[in-house]
């Protein structure tokens, strides 16, 4: 028996989930208690949500033949490739994860601080002053520049453009629904495939080229991965690593404008609070491969067990990066990037909001983004 949950048809729940995601989650939790079951148009499998710290710990520790990660990202496969960490399961997933992890260790990452800071300052030179602007698109631009630079050791305007086209198509919720439901070779999906083709050409060219500077690509090349594995890992890191961080930065700026603070010395507590109260991803999902007991409910095979980041962060230990063997591989990198960019902003500008009212969380594809794109006004410090 599945735990109780909203009885509305899945199409209706999907709309709620898109238009009022946090309200939908809070309301379902208040009405049905935990765990509760929701249904969306994206998958036939019902999704059982929990924010209970003990249950979340158990779910993240469950072996992959009991709870399988990587299922919810199937629609991304045409873009990120079949060797992507996001779509692999079991031993294959662990093998690729071991290849990708070493360059993302705290220690190995520290040497990127200066590069990130330099790119952040060059970006801040282009900010308008004294007039409102939306920080989210600018942060998308900056985080793509940063991740491209760190991964390839260089920036390629054409690759940046192709990546943005593919990502923009997956970012628009109507397109996403259209693409995942009717995968045809025309319309948005056709345009998406074209963008992916161009990305492949550019990424393979980069893989085949001897690099002049040190980059994550060089380190991955030494791991013995095949050309195709490399391509898939690189595109995965570019895709998973840029929109998420851009959204987190946009929230940080939206918050900073309303709660001014000096972040030049130690921005970490501020970052932790932003990731806790404005989580970029609202849930993590694992599929049951055998019956699984969650808070006294025996769930059948084939449903999602979903530790709910948004609800968990409101009650206990925050889990902005998920957990277990599927925990975000870019967590340390994202944190470093947030630190460097926020320190740069705080050293140069005082931010204020054009409107007093804080921005609501709106679903943008799979992220929870500021509804107005994080509108801020930046006044240069004297």
Residue among 29 and 284 whose Cβ is closer to ligand HEM:
284
Site string for ligand HEM, 54-83 (x = CB under 6 A): ---------------xx-------------
For ligand HEM, the binding residue among 281, 294, 299, 341 (CB under 6 A) is 281
- Interaction of residue 119 with ligand HEM, rule CB under 6 A: no
Is 304 exposed, middle or buried (CB count within 10 Å of its CB: 0-12, 13-18, 19+)?
Answer: buried
Q: Which of the 8 DSSP states describes residue 353?
A: -
Integer Cα distance of 321 and 336 in angstroms: 14
For ligand HEM, the binding residue among 14, 40, 148, 284 (CB under 6 A) is 284
- Interaction of residue 248 with ligand HEM, rule CB under 6 A: yes
Stretch that binds ligand HEM, among 9-17, 36-44, 45-53, 315-323 (CB under 6 A): 315-323
- Interaction of residue 320 with ligand HEM, rule CB under 6 A: yes
Nearest 10 degrees: CA dihedral of 77, 79, 81, 86? -60
CA atoms within 13 A on the CB side of 303: 21
CA atoms within 13 A on the CB side of 259: 10
Residues 6+ apart with CB under 8 A from 155: 145, 148, 149
With tokens 């991304």, the residue in question is: 76
For ligand HEM, the binding residue among 202, 237, 253, 366 (CB under 6 A) is 237
Per CB under 6 A, which of residues 2..21 are in contact with ligand HEM? none
Q: Give the count of residues interacting with ligand HEM (CB under 6 A).
A: 27
Stretch that binds ligand HEM, among 34-42, 119-127, 192-200, 277-285 (CB under 6 A): 277-285
Please, what is the minimum distance in Å from the beta carbon of residue 78 to ligand HEM?
Answer: 17
3-state secondary structure of 47: strand
For ligand HEM, the binding residue among 311, 328, 342, 376 (CB under 6 A) is 328
Integer Cα distance of 291 and 150 in angstroms: 42
The kind and range of the H/E element at 190 are: helix 187-208
- Interaction of residue 245 with ligand HEM, rule CB under 6 A: yes
Integer Cα distance of 174 and 68 in angstroms: 28
Per CB under 6 A, which of residues 131..190 are in contact with ligand HEM? 147
The residues that bridge with 305 in the sheet, in sequence order, are 48, 286
- Interaction of residue 370 with ligand HEM, rule CB under 6 A: no
Please, what is the minimum distance in Å from the beta carbon of residue 60 to ligand HEM?
Answer: 7
Integer Cα distance of 53 and 83 in angstroms: 32
Q: Where are the beta strands (DSSP E) in the chain?
A: 36-38, 47-50, 67-68, 133-134, 286-288, 292-294, 297-299, 304-307, 349-352, 361-364, 367-370, 375-380
- Interaction of residue 334 with ligand HEM, rule CB under 6 A: yes
For ligand HEM, the binding residue among 231, 326, 362, 372 (CB under 6 A) is 326
For ligand HEM, the binding residue among 21, 241, 353, 373 (CB under 6 A) is 241
Residue among 6 and 267 whose Cβ is closer to ligand HEM:
267
Stretch that binds ligand HEM, among 165-173, 242-250, 345-353, 371-379 (CB under 6 A): 242-250
Please, what is the minimum distance in Å from the beta carbon of residue 136 to ligand HEM?
Answer: 13
Q: Which of the 8 DSSP states describes residue 76?
A: G
Integer Cα distance of 355 and 135 in angstroms: 14
Q: Is the peptide bond before 30 cis (omega within 30 degrees of 0)?
A: no
Residue among 237 and 256 whose Cβ is closer to ligand HEM:
237
Contacting positions for ligand HEM (CB under 6 A): 69-70, 85-86, 97, 147, 236-237, 240-241, 244-245, 248, 280-281, 284, 320-323, 326-330, 333-334
């Amino acid at each position: 028996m599945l735990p109780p949950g909203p009885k509305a048809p899945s199409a209706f729940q999907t709309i709620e989930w898109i238009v009022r995601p946090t309200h939908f989650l809070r309301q379902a939790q208040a009405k049905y208690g935990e765990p509760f079951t929701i249904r969306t148009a994206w998958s036939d499998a019902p999704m059982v949500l929990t924010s209970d710290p003990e249950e979340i710990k158990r779910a993240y520790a469950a072996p992959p033949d009991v709870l399988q990660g990587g299922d919810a990202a199937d629609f991304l496969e045409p873009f990120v490739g079949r060797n992507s960490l996001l779509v692999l399961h079991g031993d294959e997933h662990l093998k690729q994860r071991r290849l990708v992890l070493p360059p993302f260790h705290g220690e190995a990452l520290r040497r990127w601080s200066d590069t990130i800071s330099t790119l952040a300052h060059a970006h801040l030179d282009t900010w308008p002053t004294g007039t409102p602007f939306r920080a989210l698109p600018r942060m998308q631009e900056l985080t793509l520049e940063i991740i491209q630079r760190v991964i390839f050791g260089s920036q390629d305007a054409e690759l940046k453009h192709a990546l943005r086209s593919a990502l923009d198509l997956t970012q628009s919720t109507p397109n996403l629904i259209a693409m995942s439901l009717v995968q045809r070779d025309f319309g948005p999906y056709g345009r998406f495939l074209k963008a992916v083709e161009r990305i492949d050409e550019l990424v393979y060219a980069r893989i085949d080229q001897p690099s002049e500077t040190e980059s994550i690509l060089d380190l991955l090349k030494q791991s013995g991965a095949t050309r195709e594995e490399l391509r898939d890992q690189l595109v995965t890191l570019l895709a998973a690593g840029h929109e998420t961080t851009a959204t987190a930065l946009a929230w940080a700026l939206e918050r900073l404008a309303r709660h001014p603070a000096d972040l030049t010395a130690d921005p970490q507590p501020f970052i932790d609070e932003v990731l806790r109260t404005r989580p970029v991803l609202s849930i993590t999902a694992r599929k049951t491969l055998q019956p699984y007991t969650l808070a006294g409910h025996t769930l059948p095979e084939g449903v999602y067990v979903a530790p709910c980041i948004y609800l968990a962060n409101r009650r206990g230990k925050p889990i902005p990066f998920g957990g277990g063997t599927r925990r975000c591989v870019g967590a340390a990198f994202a944190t470093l990037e947030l630190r460097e960019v926020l320190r740069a902003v705080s050293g140069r500008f005082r931010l204020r909001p054009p409107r007093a009212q804080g921005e609501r969380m709106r679903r943008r594809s799979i992220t929870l983004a500021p509804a107005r794109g994080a509108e801020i006004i930046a006044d240069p410090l004297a």
